[in-house]
Structure 1
């Protein structure tokens, strides 16, 4: 074949079906091909490596003077045949005793792209050949597709992901943006004339695509079934994935005729140890770490020291994929559900399914119970992150426990150990459900049940089920007395204080929290003491009790002593509000910024919302109403999906609502809403950066400066009626009493108080009282009324 013919024709096949999606992968592959000489597309079977490679090759063919050449290695089992097969594609028909040298001579002066498809079963031979060819031909570029990395020096690897899945949010034609849905619809229309995406079928199609992880081969096989079945029927049968998708097109290679055969093809290319590890890894849900594999998956023929290399090998073979978790130095791994299900079938065949599930349960029970020593310590943040990363595995372990009553006590222990994790936003209801199920299954009067009742009462009260929670507390006390578990009485003070708080009996809530602090110290339990100190701080703050400062300082000191983070962050938040109320904005800002740092470390969005609201209060006091409105909007985006009855919601309503009213008065409704909406639209990280950067400019001296400015104008700021109202506020009267004294309506008094706060730059009645007292001191001999123009 002449060079001219090569440049004109190459040997890329014509596409038989349309190419769907892959815009980002196409861009990335083209970019890499322009800068590297060997690029390998990796990924599991059926993910679309071959199709992507051929499409990219077609797109870039004009860049290669001597053409683009495709060689499919799928049917080659002997690596020694590689030079011959590739040479044949180039038209080298002469027999040679050294076909590799002949091939190298042919390509050494060519500028061409060689596409080698399906290299995984001849990796070593391919790697050796390509190394020699790339050395011999400076104008040669190679694009390979393989489930295994080749390991050639200079090789770049691009992992091909499944197609993008539809977003979970609903909306008109919300599934249109999904590549997976687009492929299903495209192939479905080819299988069934007139088929299209409609409002009626989009949810079902989206679920089908999610069920098969967006794997193109699986989607195409499922869509082909539209000839005989409706989308609803296909979805219902997807629990039998491999049986349903059993008949692929006859023209496809044997390994691609069924999804099962696609996975079998990969399985048979693995060593016995790799096969066993693949099967055992199927016990994990949602991902796993190296340490978990080393404990759960060992046993003949796999030793603990073998896991590192075997797992790496499965990554190279695209059976397992890697993923990086934010703030974690360790890699995590996962398998597509289709790959995992194939492994689970093999695990059952080996007779190891039950043993592996129990090992899995034991490992994640230990992780949960590690909280008893890691919580309230320098390891606390790492434990929270690890539990969060393993949430799917913990859920799987709990499912085993509640579906097999003989393991219900393990569920009690896991559910109790995770109390501090469950109370994080978004998880509290799940914790409630697991504890409820396990308590119903295991009613024996044991220590595990008693401690689970304590955790359950805590969660019920936080959910707003106060009376139910009190009833659970009573059960816990009775069982604790029966089993002589006296320390539980100390733990229950947390529940009792929260219950009184939510009953609006703040004085009693503070008293019980103080008892909890004392009892925790006697017990020698810093965790309970620290939580009780936080509760005492928040109760005292809500009561305008000056002891809030003392309790907050004690709490921060105790948390610092033990390296604890979670409750320290909440104490810093409430102290930020406290200092803001005291008009010490520098101290308020420092506390809130420190709290943000911790909440970001813990990935605790509810805490971040609290801090955004707190900094909004600082912005109001610092006379930055536009910034305050933006921060309130950013916080509201989180609150919309957050809990509604937790104690910090109470504080938010009593503090932030007042700041919001003042901001609206200052800006006007329209301007407030514009700034609020602007903040609500910001990504969380952007909002936090904005909050920290703006409020960082608030200095300790700013309060004195504002007071000085106010003194210059305050004597003429208030009307005579507002001055009268201010005097009565200073006397401790509530608005209803003021209305009766001045013979005006309570609503009028409300308006006067609001105007006084805005005019004087205050945000509490206590500040009005202090102002009145200062005025009297500054004007000796004045009468009880404040002079006003």
Structure 2
């Protein structure tokens, strides 16, 4: 039985009440493609939407006859997104869509959703209501199997939208909710047994708003229900004064939050305000750096944070990156108002930015080591905060160079963890002006170094997206400016990536020349990291295509040895791929398959689609050589689907295209055009995870499917025939000349 896809979070405590609302929302989901659940902050919109969506999921197993939500239910949390330009990126991220192609993210979303049947829950869109409405309209028109459940404080106002206003809970459900949460706090004791009238009056005073009730229940650690009621009653009038423009229920919620805030100790109120600068999940180390100070010593932060967790102001959650924390948007907004009142917002945002700049720099260093998977998970969790940090740099006079530095420092995340589109967004923004507002001219200072790094990283990202024109411009500009400012390291990186560009466009002699030049510079400068190892693997691949297999294998062995010593896996995966390519060229198919299996596993772990699709293509060719053309065709189809997310298939290079054509020719000849096409279509229908599973499982069946009169061994490659295929292909379709790409390294 196949698992049902999706990303809905598990419920941490019991869903209470709302039986009528749940039934009505479930009914609406059967009849409308767009339902917008609206209501005041804290009324329980998200909890109801997620609970209803979870109930709507089909059970794991065979697909239901109507295929309703057969592609799952997905939650996109948009509350931390402030830049309209990131809306599409955030949705693609929630859907786990990775695209390296350089296509606009909207086009990627349309393609991904075009033939899928799923429910998309959009939560917290009100700060971007107009662009979100335009996005939803576009996707619903183009993707017939898509259904949207939007959750916010106002409707999207789209044609066909069914608005479902969510009122506060009725009195009975509110009392039950308070009792349930009170029992959690008190270890099983239910206050309804002894304080029923007080609890019901408390619920009435708080307008039965779930968030207000949960905040009040958290106070039972220190107060009785009667004490809570008296305190709310005493302060109700005071705390709602000056709120004439607000609806009564908004005022009630602010009363509950304000009352909870007033009951906090001074240190707790201060930490609450300072935590509001975090745009998404955060960890203890970040809190200790950003929020500590003379009035809040670092040694006390953990205890104060624990008190805010106990009072439901901060929520603790387990993530792939470890234990983290977050604040509900309504609570965070209240803290932000207090931070403004303290005139401390600017300083705290700068401390927040400095922490994430330091964290990114540390991750970059640690990336060359055994913690790559941990760093990838940490960067995923920190992405909303990284965005906020870059945004602050780019909107502050004189600090554009800091944004360039941060966007460049995250190269390992953009290129190594399937984030090319996001990285391109920030690199383009950081480099758009010649100098940002108030920026001094280039003078060889740190500002120039930051800009040069952003330029070569942009060139690298653009290469992987297939945008060779942008890559060429950025890398030549970087190389020229590096020469002018005597920045030898930036010059080496620019030359390295120009060599990578030559490799992927099929100019192997030039690729070898540039890559050797860059690696020589790295040795002189003492530079050793994952990028340098990638340069060696890229040089080895150019040597494979040039026919110097012994030198290529020796380079790969060197890279693999360094990776084993350091614990590095990402660059290792590319060395494994090149080594497998050499093994395939020599006809050593068993060796090639073992090397590729490890490479595929690593690429899939990091969601590196460029490496994954290259390894899948070669796995298909190995499979064909083993005498299993049907399975080879399936893998080619799976690779074809991945190429749509990477860019131009096989980089548009005759050199990379020749092995693919050889595999297709063998499989098509063995199976016949119709059967080959059917197998390719089967592969194209596989998800990324299913394709990886299929590739790692090995050929299906016990016998090869080959034409009469042939044996599986007839399909095994030899060095002569494989190199001849490449040379013949290049003779028919010459690669770009050096003049098309630019001058040489010394240029």
The bucket for the TM-score relative to the shorter chain is 0.5 to 0.7
Tell me the equivalent position of 1:302: 296
Instruction: Check whether the contact 1:538–1:574 (CA below 8 A) recurs between aligned residues.
Output: yes
Residue 274 of structure 1 and its aligned partner are, at CA, apart by 2.8
Instruction: Check whether the contact 1:47–1:162 (CA below 8 A) recurs between aligned residues.
Output: no
**Could you tell me the TM-score, scaled by structure 1's length?**
0.58
Matched, 1:761 2:715: yes
Cα 1:460–1:304 change in 2 (3 A) is same
Cα 1:14–1:475 change in 2 (3 A) is closer
Tell me the equivalent position of 2:419: 426
Tell me the equivalent position of 1:539: 542
Instruction: Check whether the contact 2:536–2:556 (CA below 8 A) recurs between aligned residues.
Output: yes
- How far apart in 2 are the matches of 1:697 and 1:683? 22
Cα shift readout 1:705-746 (whole Å, capped 9, x = no counterpart): 99xx99x956xx9xxxxxxxxxxxxxxxxxxxxxxxxxxxxx
- How far apart in 1 are the matches of 2:650 and 2:46? 50
Cα shift readout 1:591-643 (whole Å, capped 9, x = no counterpart): 11222332244343433333333322222222223322333333333322224
- How far apart in 1 are the matches of 2:676 and 2:426? 38
Instruction: Check whether the contact 1:458–1:469 (CA below 8 A) recurs between aligned residues.
Output: no
- How far apart in 1 are the matches of 2:19 and 2:412? 56
- How far apart in 2 are the matches of 1:197 and 1:565? 48
Residue 531 of structure 1 and its aligned partner are, at CA, apart by 2.7
Cα 1:516–1:625 change in 2 (3 A) is same
Cα 1:351–1:768 change in 2 (3 A) is closer
Instruction: Check whether the contact 2:43–2:210 (CA below 8 A) recurs between aligned residues.
Output: yes
Tell me the equivalent position of 1:677: 681
- How far apart in 2 are the matches of 1:354 and 1:608? 43
Higher relative contact order (CA 8 A, sep 6+): 2
Cα 1:645–1:455 change in 2 (3 A) is farther
Residue 536 of structure 1 and its aligned partner are, at CA, apart by 0.4
SS of residue in 2 equivalent to 1:351 = coil
SS of residue in 2 equivalent to 1:170 = helix
Matched, 1:170 2:171: no
SS of residue in 1 equivalent to 2:139 = coil
Residue 336 of structure 1 and its aligned partner are, at CA, apart by 3.5
Tell me the equivalent position of 1:570: 574
- How far apart in 2 are the matches of 1:561 and 1:382? 18
Aligned residues: 535
Matched, 1:500 2:509: no
- How far apart in 1 are the matches of 2:509 and 2:17? 80
Instruction: Check whether the contact 2:624–2:632 (CA below 8 A) recurs between aligned residues.
Output: yes
Tell me the equivalent position of 1:69: none
Matched, 1:367 2:365: no
Instruction: Check whether the contact 2:42–2:210 (CA below 8 A) recurs between aligned residues.
Output: no
Tell me the equivalent position of 1:105: none
Cα 1:646–1:316 change in 2 (3 A) is farther
- How far apart in 2 are the matches of 1:653 and 1:695? 23
- How far apart in 2 are the matches of 1:182 and 1:367? 33
SS of residue in 1 equivalent to 2:510 = helix
Matched, 1:523 2:522: no
Residue 461 of structure 1 and its aligned partner are, at CA, apart by 5.8
Residue 473 of structure 1 and its aligned partner are, at CA, apart by 4.3
Cα 1:312–1:644 change in 2 (3 A) is farther
Cα 1:13–1:374 change in 2 (3 A) is closer
- How far apart in 2 are the matches of 1:469 and 1:162? 35
Instruction: Check whether the contact 2:643–2:649 (CA below 8 A) recurs between aligned residues.
Output: no
Cα 1:350–1:182 change in 2 (3 A) is closer
Structure 2 unpaired stretches of 5+: 1-15, 28-40, 53-120, 126-131, 167-207, 212-241, 726-747
- How far apart in 2 are the matches of 1:365 and 1:497? 29
Tell me the equivalent position of 1:658: 662
Cα shift readout 1:210-229 (whole Å, capped 9, x = no counterpart): xxxxxx9799xxxxxxxxxx
SS of residue in 2 equivalent to 1:333 = strand
Instruction: Check whether the contact 2:627–2:713 (CA below 8 A) recurs between aligned residues.
Output: no
Instruction: Check whether the contact 1:402–1:437 (CA below 8 A) recurs between aligned residues.
Output: no
Partner residue of 1:436 out of 407, 431, 435: 431
Cα 1:340–1:435 change in 2 (3 A) is same
Residue 319 of structure 1 and its aligned partner are, at CA, apart by 3.1
Residue 503 of structure 1 and its aligned partner are, at CA, apart by 5.1
Structure 1 unpaired stretches of 5+: 1-11, 24-43, 56-160, 189-195, 209-215, 220-242, 718-757, 772-789
Instruction: Check whether the contact 2:505–2:651 (CA below 8 A) recurs between aligned residues.
Output: no
Cα 1:179–1:49 change in 2 (3 A) is closer
Matched, 1:281 2:275: yes
What are the equivalent positions in structure 2 for 1:459-470 lying under 5 Å apart? 459-460=458-459, 462-464=461-463, 466=468, 469-470=471-472
Cα 1:500–1:401 change in 2 (3 A) is same
Tell me the equivalent position of 1:775: none
Tell me the equivalent position of 2:159: 198
Partner residue of 1:412 out of 404, 412, 418: 404
RMSD of the alignment, in Å? 4.6
Cα shift readout 1:372-422 (whole Å, capped 9, x = no counterpart): 532323344433432333222122111111111222232232233223333
Instruction: Check whether the contact 1:289–1:331 (CA below 8 A) recurs between aligned residues.
Output: yes
